[in-house]
Amino acid sequence: MVGALRGFGIKNPEVALEHPADAARGDYAMSAALVYAKRCGKSPKEVAEDIARSIVEHSISYVEKVEVVGGFVNVFLTKEFFVEEVGKILKEKDKFGENKNLAGKKVLVEYTDPNPFKEFHIGHLMSNTIGESVARLLQYSGAEVRRACYQGDVGLHVAKALWGYLQGEHEWGRAYAEGSAAYEADEGAKKEINKLNKKIYSREDEKVNAFYDEGRRVSLEAFGKIYEKLGTKFDYFFFESETGEFGKRIVEQNLGQVFERSEGAVVFPESKSGLHTRVFINSQGLPTYEAKELGLAKIKYEKYPYDLSVIITGNEINEYFRVLLAAMARVFPALAEKTRHLSHGMLRLPSGKMSSRKGNVVTAEALLGEVEKRLPEGGNKDAVAVSALKYSILRQHIGADVIFDTEKSISLHGDSGPYLQYSYARARSVLRKAGCVSSPRDDIFKSPRVAPSERGSTRHFKNVSRSEPTILERVLCRFGEVVERAAREYAPHYLATYLIELAGAFNHWYAHERILEAGEETPYRLALTEAFSIVMKNGLWLLGISAPEKM
């Protein structure tokens, strides 16, 4: 096809292949004729016919036929191709769909980032869900991936929470809300909180230290339980108490060249960033988030010399990050080039936006608990609730806000995490009935017609009496392409959409075909069922969702 275009003097033509929505139009379609017709001096139909002729003349393996429709070239693959692909899925199992695009690369993915002394709310749930899926997609692409969590265990928010705690409010989330309200409304409380903030940094007061240490410990233990439920295991935990002084020194070392003094503070001015001025050391001599983040980049690299650092946050700090990266480009240019900031939208409930500062926080645990209440009695309620939340987040582009609808999230009738889990469990139930679960591939291929040396081969399936490949086979074979795109574009929603299509194809096939009593076709149909379960399980894993054997 490329050769046909080069024949018209077009160097390095780009030929995009797409999957038609209607299988009757082929397995692949290309519109290159529409793109290059004018440059070729022919009509789109004539160029399309030349491309089709080139494909046929080169006898490309596994091409059944080529059709021209207007300026489009539609390519149909042979059923042997799909049979071989099913065999490949059965052979590779949990490795099916992997690629080596990032082989040899070290990637550090930072996400979630809840602050001790505050609640783990649904915004952290959003970051965790996206970050975990992105980490797994990059890992599936051959990268060596490490997961990191950066937490603000010092700063004004801690002082506000500790102040509220010392007033008698011994629930940290409410203590923070009380301290925040007092800081804004009461000048005396504001002065006390500012003094407390300095003591937390200096650790000069043993009583304050004791309350602080206990609050930090309790918070981190609570976070650990949530990570376990969500299926995340971090390799590194970084804290602002570690990055603050280091970041402050970096800023001071670059005073004059990068940073400037302004009204008792140290800033990165708009004149140098081209964006807006931000404070890196405040008028009290304490490092701000910006200085800490600058120090963090270097500390991360010293801990794990990454080729790529991916940082996932909410989009409300996009402008902050643009300035931060501009400052980093001047102080640590090599690290700035290795840094990729991904921002996501907000997870909202029908009641509107939440605010930990005002005390109307919806915690991740509360939301998970509410979802669990709506689920029918039975096992795996935790896993199903997590899947309902995660899929609701990942089904949309990560930059968009998500309005969480509890009833839709738990539906077993499509476009939900539980529906994907249910489809997987249905396939596993079929395989259990056939006695194929303990060692699926060996049992599926056991037959008087199959020699032991050929188990796992698909050669004896080539005479299956089917006029053409099923939609299920066609969709199964696209998994690797979808994974590559989702990883390349940091876009798990492509995978979520694909899995819904795959589940729909399987459930339609399941409803219209006999699997266990199909005569000579039974072994292949069991193989196809097993292939579906493998791909669905792999896809769910990439979304950070478990695949229960029963529901």
How does residue 35 score in pLDDT terms, banded at 50, 70 and 90?
Answer: low
Question: In terms of pLDDT, which residue wins out, 90 or 352?
Answer: 90
What are the backbone dihedrals phi and psi of residue 239, each rounded to the nearest 5 degrees, phi first?
-130, 150
Q: Is 54 within the bounds of a domain?
A: yes
**Packing angle, helices 381-394 and 206-230, rounded to 10:** 90
Instruction: Decide which of 56, 77, 98 is a domain's last residue.
Output: 77
Q: For residue 23, what is the domain's CATH number? A: 3.30.1360.70
Tens digit of each residue's pLDDT (9 = 90 or more) over 374-432? 998 877 899 999 999 999 999 999 999 999 999 999 999 989 999 999 999 999 999 99
256: pLDDT strictly greater than 70: yes
- Whole-angstrom Cα distance, residue 490 to residue 496? 13
How does residue 6 score in pLDDT terms, banded at 50, 70 and 90?
Answer: very low
Q: Which of 277, 292, 36, 266 is nearest to 157 (CA)?
A: 292
Tens digit of each residue's pLDDT (9 = 90 or more) over 42-77? 777 777 777 778 777 776 778 888 888 887 788 889
Instruction: Decide which of 77, 109, 139 is a domain's last residue.
Output: 77
Return the pLDDT at 446: 41
Q: Is 18 within the bounds of a domain?
A: yes
Question: In terms of pLDDT, which residue wins out, 488 or 74?
Answer: 488
Q: Which of 280, 286, 245, 283 is nearest to 263 (CA)?
A: 283
127: pLDDT strictly greater than 50: yes
Residues present in the chain in total:
551
Return the pLDDT at 354: 43
In this prediction, residues 91-113 reach a mean pLDDT of 97
How does residue 466 score in pLDDT terms, banded at 50, 70 and 90?
Answer: low
CA dihedral for 242, 243, 244, 248, sign (positive or negative): positive
Task: With beta carbons less than 8 A apart as the criterion, state whether 71 and 34 touch.
Answer: yes
Q: Is 372 within the bounds of a domain?
A: no
Find the range with the poorest average confidence among 245-259, 387-401, 448-462, 499-513.
448-462
Return the pLDDT at 5: 38
Question: Cα–Cα distances in Å, from 511 out to 465, 497, 506?
Answer: 19, 21, 9
Return the pLDDT at 173: 82
Average predicted confidence (pLDDT) for the chain: 88
CA dihedral for 304, 308, 312, 313, sign (positive or negative): positive
Tens digit of each residue's pLDDT (9 = 90 or more) over 165-201? 999 988 888 899 899 999 999 999 999 999 999 999 8
Tens digit of each residue's pLDDT (9 = 90 or more) over 318-340? 999 999 999 999 999 999 999 99
Tens digit of each residue's pLDDT (9 = 90 or more) over 144-154? 999 999 999 99
Full residue range of the structural domain in which residue 263 is found: 243-303
Q: Buried b vs exposed e over 286-302: b needs ≥16 C-beta within 10 Å? A: bbbbbbbbbbbbbbbbe
Q: Is 277 within the bounds of a domain?
A: yes
Q: Is 123 within the bounds of a domain?
A: no
Find the range with the poorest average confidence among 103-112, 457-466, 527-536.
457-466
Return the pLDDT at 37: 60
Return the pLDDT at 158: 95
Return the pLDDT at 467: 62
Sheet architecture: strand order including 63-69: 17-18, 28-30, 72-77, 63-69
Instruction: Decide which of 77, 97, 127 is a domain's last residue.
Output: 77
Q: Is 137 within the bounds of a domain?
A: no
Strands 144-151 and 106-110: parallel
Return the pLDDT at 28: 87
Return the pLDDT at 473: 95
Return the pLDDT at 62: 82
- Whole-angstrom Cα distance, residue 45 to residue 68? 7
What are the backbone dihedrals phi and psi of residue 433, each rounded to the nearest 5 degrees, phi first?
-60, -35
453: pLDDT strictly greater than 60: no
Return the pLDDT at 350: 76
Tens digit of each residue's pLDDT (9 = 90 or more) over 270-306? 999 899 999 999 998 989 999 999 999 999 999 999 9
CA dihedral for 188, 190, 193, 199, sign (positive or negative): negative
Number of domains in the chain: 2
Q: Is 299 within the bounds of a domain?
A: yes
Return the pLDDT at 18: 83
At residue 5, what is the residue type? L
Q: Is 23 within the bounds of a domain?
A: yes
- Whole-angstrom Cα distance, residue 237 to residue 239? 7
- Whole-angstrom Cα distance, residue 461 to residue 527? 10
